[in-house]
Amino acid sequence: MSKLNNRGSIYVVFGGSRAKIPVNPGEIEIRHPMDHKTYDVLGVGQIVVPRKPSLKTVSWESFFPADLSAPYVNSGARSPGYYVNCFQKAQKNKQRCRLIITRSGLYDTNMRCVISNFEAKDEGGEPDDIYYAVEFQEYRAYAPKTVIIVTTPAAPT
């Protein structure tokens, strides 16, 4: 897990529009799983065969504030409904997006992804703020490859 200070920013690009997350979360979890396979080999025991990395996931919890002038709100913030609509629309339309996390001097994150989970809730005593949890999963482009078979005519006998 990484902590994001107030100098860092999180952007989600949905299609052509970029949304800056209004309140930085207390922590961001980035998972880099591997797809290693284990086998039992007679006379050796269990072995592991290293394989390629699985898809990364990035998740956090935060809130969309109703008071956009509060000191902890990033500049350019919009209403809570705007963000909820963006996330729900992206999920409904199976839209790919880009997640950009800048960390001011540390490593940055920039990945194509899909929203694999989005949960929103209201909490008592904080009217109009919307608390949420979101998880992004890395997207890798895929398509069948076209193969052209070139044949040469057989030599006459």
41-82, pLDDT tens digit by residue? 999 999 999 999 999 999 999 999 999 999 999 988 999 999
pLDDT in tens, 97-156: 999 999 877 778 999 999 999 999 988 887 889 999 999 999 998 888 888 888 888 777
Q: Are 47 and 126 in contact (CB under 8 A)?
A: no
Task: Tell me if 35 sits within 8 A of 5, measured CB to CB.
Answer: no
Task: Judge whether 64 and 22 are in contact, CB under 8 Å.
Answer: yes
Tokens, residue 6 = 């107030």
C-beta of residue 101 within 8 angstroms of C-beta of residue 14: no
pLDDT band at 6; cut points 50, 70, 90:
low
E-state strands within 69-129: 97-102, 109-121
DSSP code at position 81: H
72-107 tens-digit pLDDT: 999 889 999 999 999 999 999 999 999 999 987 777
On the question of pLDDT at 2 being above 80, the answer is: no
Count CA within 13 A, CB hemisphere, residue 126. Answer: 12
